[in-house]
């Protein structure tokens, strides 16, 4: 649809000339989803620890820079260190995180492939 039609459906839309109309999908703010999920989980008794460095484990106790925690389940959100934390718990030992920074370049081809 063109920009004017898009404005009829969604007054807050910003588009360039055209927009894709997809009535079976939705747009959302990922941060709002995560905040709602965190709130629901906290209300269910789940504890969160943010910005804590993982130091190791001893049995069911997880040691961090913010203290020791014991639980039946641990959700590993260690980013680039997630593989190292998983290895301590015996998971994914044959896998290693390979961080890299990549760029996508749109280079016009002078001849067909």
Per-residue model confidence (pLDDT) at position 99: 80
Find the DSSP H helices in the chain. 3-9, 30-43, 82-88
State the Cα–Cα distance between residues 10 and 107, nearest whole angstrom: 35
Per the confidence metrics, is the pTM higher than 0.95?
no
Per-residue model confidence (pLDDT) at position 113: 54
Q: What is the pLDDT along the chain (113 residues), one digit of tens a residue?
A: 999 999 998 888 888 889 888 888 877 888 999 999 999 999 999 888 889 999 999 988 999 999 999 988 888 888 889 999 999 999 999 999 888 777 666 666 665 55
Domain limits, the chain: 47-96
């Amino acid at each position: 649809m063109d920009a004017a039609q898009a404005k009829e459906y969604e007054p807050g839309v910003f588009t360039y000339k055209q927009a894709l109309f997809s009535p079976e999908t939705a747009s959302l703010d990922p941060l709002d989803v995560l905040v709602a999920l965190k709130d629901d989980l906290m209300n269910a008794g789940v504890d969160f620890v943010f910005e804590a460095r993982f130091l190791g484990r001893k049995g069911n106790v997880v040691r961090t820079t913010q203290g020791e925690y014991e639980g039946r389940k641990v959700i590993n959100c260690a980013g680039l260190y997630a593989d190292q934390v998983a290895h301590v718990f015996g998971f994914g030992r044959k896998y290693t995180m390979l961080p890299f920074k990549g760029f996508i370049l749109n280079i016009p081809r002078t001849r067909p492939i």
